[in-house]
Amino acid sequence: MPREDKIKPLSFTQISLYQTCPLSYKLRYIDGLKPKDKWYFSFGTTLHNCAEFFFRVNTPTPPTLNELLAYYTQNWLSQGYESAEEEDEYKESGKKILTEFWKIHSTDFHLPVALEKRFLVDIEGIKLMGFIDRVDKLESGGLSIIDYKSNKELFTNDYLQDDLQLTIYQLAAEQTWPLPVEKLTLYHLRSNTPCSCLPRDPARLDQARRLILEVADNILSEKFPAVENQFCPCDFPEHCPYYRHLYMEPAAARQDLLPGIAATEAVERYASLKAQINELETQLEEAKRVITDFCQAEGLNRIYGEEHEITYKLIERTGFDADEVRVLLEPEGLWEKVLGLDPSRVRQLLTDKEISKEIREKLESIKRVTGTHSQLQVKKRITDEE
């Protein structure tokens, strides 16, 4: 059975959630659990809808400011706010944002090529779906893709370059229109700042395709591990192996794991033992520092106690400069093998017999020492009596 018959169309949101935590993806999109309402989703969606309303006109005359703010009031989404005071605060903030939005765009208004453009494109048998917020036509004749965002912080250039959503939108636009995509923009609504960059090159687009296919294959293979991340706990902690214990019945939560010791008591025992270990490790590090400093000061590789001897070594850590590696590998079509400059992948190339000897030697030559650490090896002394 073809892949497309086994998996529903994927969106950026689904792909992003799978990358963050595969189990959370499963709970939401396969098991159908409903996430809790969040104020920031309500606030962002309200602003997004108002931006769409502003541009969705049949003639090159935008709505008046009063019309825009009236639409805002009538279509305000109130779900997820913790209090009426918090909601009022954000509602007032939204009015200021939209007033500035109107001032900026009403003076140089133009009709976009598309608004909330729905797409359903094929990536090697995997359907990719979504909506592009806005598409403009540039004076050069190319397309500009705009995605509205209500994040608190402004976007850095690195964020723009790594943003998978813009990459997916470019892939979709290139399958939808015959015109080239020449500009990608994340429009920061809170500051009314367009953060733009050049379109992705073919290599980056191909990288995104491979990522999409990898996620799809993992979903088809039912790979749904729980992955701790900055958003933990999510809306489904009672289903997560990292948090489920908090929601278990007392009898189950205290099931004996050790003779005479309940699981909850074992937690406290472990914490106490761990604290003792940490204290010993602190003392160990202090002793190591004294020995290391002495060996370095005296130029010694080994020192002796009454019963033991310790050999001192200074171990070098090596690594690679990303720009140098890219210059060397990209012309050979090997850069994709080490994307993200994973040191282990780069080192694998050094011993890969399928890679030319010349490339392996050049790669070896650009290896750099990135740091050092001290290593102490303890050995029991052998005396003459023994």
Residue 310 half-sphere exposure, CB side, CA atoms within 13 Å? 17
Residue 193's pLDDT is 96
What distance in Å separates the CA atoms of residue 152 and residue 156, rounded to the nearest whole number? 13
First to last CA, the chain: 72
b/e for 14-24, b at 16 or more Cβ within 10 A? bbebbbebbbb
Which domains are assigned to the chain?
1-232 (3.90.320), 300-380 (no CATH)
Kindly report, residue by residue over 91-110, the tens digit of the pLDDT: 999 999 999 999 999 998 99
pLDDT of residue 258: 52
| pTM for this predicted structure | 0.69
Asked if 185 and 170 touch (Cβ cutoff 8 Å), the reply is: no
What is the pLDDT at residue 165? Answer: 96
Amino acid identity at 386: E
Highest mean pLDDT among 58-67, 143-152, 246-255, 346-355: 143-152
**How confident is the model over 184-195, as a mean pLDDT?**
96
Across the chain, what does the average pLDDT equal? 88
On the CB side of 8, CA atoms within 13 Å amount to 7
- Kindly report, residue by residue over 144-161, the tens digit of the pLDDT: 999 999 999 999 999 999
**Model pLDDT, residue 323:** 78
DSSP 221-262: TT-------TT-S-S-GGG-TTTGGGGS-HHHHT-EEETTEE
